[in-house]
Copies of this chain bind each other. A is one copy, B any other.
Amino acid sequence: MDTQKPYVIGVDLGGTNTVFGIVDARGQIVAEDSIKTQTYKTAEEFVEAGVVCLRPLIAQMGGISQIAGMGIGAPNGNYYTGSIETAPNIAWAHDGIVPLAKMFSDRLEGLPVKLTNDANAAAMGEMAYGAARGMKNFIVITLGTGVGSGIVVNGQLVYGHDGFAGELGHVIMDRSPRGRVCGCGRKGCLETYCSATGVARTAREILANTDRPSLLRDKPAEDIESLDVSIAAGKGDEVANEIFQFTGKMLGEACADFAAFSSPEAFIFFGGLCKAGDLIMKPIEESYNRSVMNIFKGKAKFLVSGLMNANAAVLGASALGWDGAAEKN
């Protein structure tokens, strides 16, 4: 870390809001503000609004000379190019390559700016401030609308030769014709079973295929969300627990394959589903130890993120900011 410059900027660029945070070396967010992501027609307008939002925060810290770097976590963010590449859910970035890191750097006196996707930023954050402090080999799995991942090997993020590594939501869990259709255009991806959407889908399937009683029947099937399953499971609902058993089985088996790849010290889970705690974490760990190769059995830790609060994404991105600053020095 650049001891002359005590702060970094962490940016969480989401589908709705973009949050800018100023973060100190201990991982405290000392100032924060946000703009709407989608109110802007072009990337230029978005960056302009971002800089306008940032200026007073930077001034508060004593000016740009106090800032070591900036990190951005964004959907479809490519670390190598510093660009957002055809992000389907962002109006000004859905059909092209937006060199966002350079655009911000140019407007901020050449500040080093690094960019990566949300899950990789989460992994950086866990390593710097969260559950992976001191670890050199671990995998963060984000369970949200989709399933994302950030993989760390030898203390470094795995970006691959093109910047797109770490798409563990898209390993194939069911190669049979019964594999669930995935948004990526293929069938049987992990994401179709273990994302929030996948969990809701499992719920609807189980409810439709049996007439067992369940709290989940209190709602029209099409309105069931993964949060409903968490709540019902917490109340001891058998069907809800079976849904978590199935979800955990899939995740544990996937992690067993990931162990054969990079044998991580820990699997760290992030996202709404983790709020169910042991109800989901125990099935994952049991499935893993049942299915993994003997040499790996009982070795890996299964942890919930150490950053499960609203600002986790900002902290993750800020960790990338230190990274960029270190590279420049």
Chain A stretch 155-202: residues in CB contact (< 8 A) with chain B: 156, 158-168, 170-176, 184-186
CB closest residue in chain B, given A182:
B293
A246: shortest Cβ distance to chain B, in Å?
13
A28: shortest Cβ distance to chain B, in Å?
29
CB–CB B162/A299 < 8 A: yes
User: Which B residues are CB-close (under 8 A) to A156?
Assistant: 153-154
Work out how many copies of this chain go into the complex. Answer: 2
User: Which B residues are CB-close (under 8 A) to A302?
Assistant: none
Give how many A residues have a beta carbon under 8 Å from the other chain's beta carbons: 45
A44: shortest Cβ distance to chain B, in Å?
26
CB–CB A293/B170 < 8 A: yes
A173-B175, A174-B175, A253-B172 given; A263·B294 CB < 8 A: no
A242 at the interface (CB under 8 A from B): no
**6 smallest A-B Cβ distances: which pairs?**
A160-B263, A165-B263, A161-B265, A167-B260, A137-B161, A171-B257
List residues of A whose CB falls within 8 A of some B CB. Answer: 135-137, 151, 153-154, 156, 158-168, 170-176, 184-186, 253, 256-265, 291, 293-296, 299
CB–CB B161/A136 < 8 A: yes
CB–CB A172/B256 < 8 A: yes
CB–CB A261/B175 < 8 A: no
26 pairs, A vs B, C-beta closer than 8 Å: A136-B161, A151-B261, A153-B154, A154-B154, A154-B158, A158-B261, A158-B262, A159-B263, A160-B262, A161-B264, A161-B265, A162-B263, A162-B296, A164-B263, A166-B260, A167-B293, A167-B295, A168-B261, A170-B260, A170-B293, A171-B261, A172-B256, A172-B291, A184-B293, A184-B294, A261-B261
In the bound complex, what is the Cα–Cα distance between A291 and B182 (angstroms)?
13
User: Which B residues are CB-close (under 8 A) to A160?
Assistant: 137, 153, 259, 262-264
A136-B161, A158-B153, A176-B176 given; A186·B293 CB < 8 A: yes
Q: Which among B174, B185, B261 is the interface contact of A258 at CB below 8 angstroms?
A: B261
User: Which B residues are CB-close (under 8 A) to A263?
Assistant: 159-166
In the bound complex, what is the Cα–Cα distance between A186 and B297 (angstroms)?
13
CB–CB A164/B261 < 8 A: no
CB closest residue in chain B, given A261:
B261
User: Which B residues are CB-close (under 8 A) to A161?
Assistant: 135-137, 263-265, 299
In the bound complex, what is the Cα–Cα distance between A176 and B173 (angstroms)?
11
In the bound complex, what is the Cα–Cα distance between A174 and B253 (angstroms)?
12
In the bound complex, what is the Cα–Cα distance between A137 and B166 (angstroms)?
13
A147: shortest Cβ distance to chain B, in Å?
11
User: Which B residues are CB-close (under 8 A) to A259?
Assistant: 160
CB closest residue in chain B, given A176:
B176
